[in-house]
Amino acid sequence: MARKYFGTDGVRGRANQYPMTAEIALRIGAAAGQYFRNDNTKVHRVVIGKDTRLSGYMFENALTAGLTSAGMNVLLLGPVPTPAVGLLTPSMRADLGIMISASHNPHEDNGIKFFGPDGFKLSDHVEAEIELLIENGVAPAPVEAIGRAQRIDDGLFRYVERVKSSFPNGMRLDGMKVVIDCANGAAYRAAPEVLWELGAEVIAVGISPNGININDKCGSTAPQTAAETVVSHGADVGICLDGDADRVIIIDETGAVAEGDQLMALMATRWARNRQLRGDTLVSTVMSNLGLERYLGEHGIALERTAVGDRYVVERMREGGFNLGGEQSGHIVMSDYSTTGDGLMAGLQFLAEIVRTGTPASQLINVFDPVPQLLKNVRFTPSEDPLNAPKVQQEISAAEAALGDTGRLLIRKSGTEPLIRVMAECEDQALLIETVDSICAAVESASAAA
């Protein structure tokens, strides 16, 4: 069945436009509530967190209305990171967890992410079942079974303590100067507090959310401000989170930026040395650099690739019994500590390595030499599929032949935006640029002609 509402990470789109309207959110809440309220003999609960987008108020209220109409009691956490919802759903014995966030997207967008009672994101099968309920409608609960809603004041405190517990016991950050960029998002309170309580001197940016400045020239997708702050303050390291704090980008003391692949390489090799890496395997997506795969192979570590999306990374980790995975974009999943990507926890692991080794960040983030990689996005009309155009198929075939065994080509539709993502890797820089540009031009032409 074609997915009408759900993408790679819940439901996402521009606020107040289909499907991200208050009406649809109410229907989604009612459908999810009915699906998880499968036993009338007990109280059913759902926890809802959100980031700092202005539209979060609207969706919080709409979801609450739908969920309570289906007989679910709603616990409202307020602004908390996405991983906090994953952690608190089983901790608070909830049947369902919901995070209202569009992650790294601009404030005009919003999204609804779902966690099951075990704290993990829902499977494709469960999302399909909920979609059927959205389409077919649900029977409201009897009036005496309508749910209640209440604010929870200590959700953020619970999350802060859980994050601190992931830091090595007895280790401190005393004497370390850390820049933390919270993207004016969900971690604007939690992240500076965690770092300060662990002993760091904290220089915080992106901690003044106003509803429309989330991810605006700050955070993991725009690390320039944090990099400049690191250099100007003489900080030891910078940590950049995105709007819902489930991804991280590291900045060294010189202002250089490291992607998630470098952090995963560092963590995987250290965990392997400590016999902590289960199955001697790292799970990542098809987007991770070929250089990472080669580097891990040299150290006896396997790299298993999945479709793009931290949900698919986690699914493979659970299937294989692995405990470390992530994405190039900075989602780092450590299943010993969390059920989903947690940017703050991953950042703490990097800080622990600085303390443990006495090595500056600039040396720790240059773990392997990446193969030159180029990624470009082409916007298209969602009702059309330019990838099926004969000219696009011809350009793809020609590019694959030109790259041969020396490179890699990946073309896919974004699961969160109407974009075709064209990515290639190749040691030959000129061939790399020519390959990506030719495919992008063909896609643009096909999209314009549609």
| 218-222-226 Cα angle (round to 5) | 60
d(CA 176, CA 225): 20
Q: For every residue of 58-98, which 3-state class applies, written as one string? A: HHHHHHHHHHHHCCCEEEEEEECCHHHHHHHHHHCCCCEEE
d(CA 113, CA 7): 10
Q: Residues 117, 151: contact at Cβ < 8 Å?
A: no
Catalytic residue check, 166? no
Q: 378's torsion region: left (phi>0), alpha (psi -120 to 50) or beta?
A: beta
Instruction: Indicate which residue of 69, 101, 103, 335 is catalytic.
Output: 103
Q: Which of 282, 345, 292, 275 is nearest to 313 (CA)?
A: 282
| 49-140-145 Cα angle (round to 5) | 75
Q: What is the DSSP string of 145-192?
A: G---EEE-SSHHHHHHHHHHHTSPTT---TT-EEEEE-TTSTTTTHHH
Q: Residues 272, 280: contact at Cβ < 8 Å?
A: yes
d(CA 240, CA 256): 12
Coil, helix or strand for 420? strand
Q: What is the DSSP string of 238-286?
A: EEEE-TTSS-EEEE-TTS-EE-HHHHHHHHHHHHHHTT-SGGGEEEEET
- Residues sharing a CB contact under 8 Å with residue 17, sequence separation 6 or more, in sequence order: none
d(CA 20, CA 59): 9
Beta strands in 307-418 (DSSP E): 324-326, 332-334, 373-379, 407-413
Exposed e or buried b for every residue in 183-204, given b needs 16+ CB within 10 A?
A: bbbbbbbbbbbbbeebebbbbb
CA 35 to chain CA mean position, Å: 25
CA 264 to chain CA mean position, Å: 15
Beta bridge partners, 281, equal: 302
Q: Which of 339, 113, 161, 351 is nearest to 248 (CA)?
A: 351
- Catalytic site residues? 103
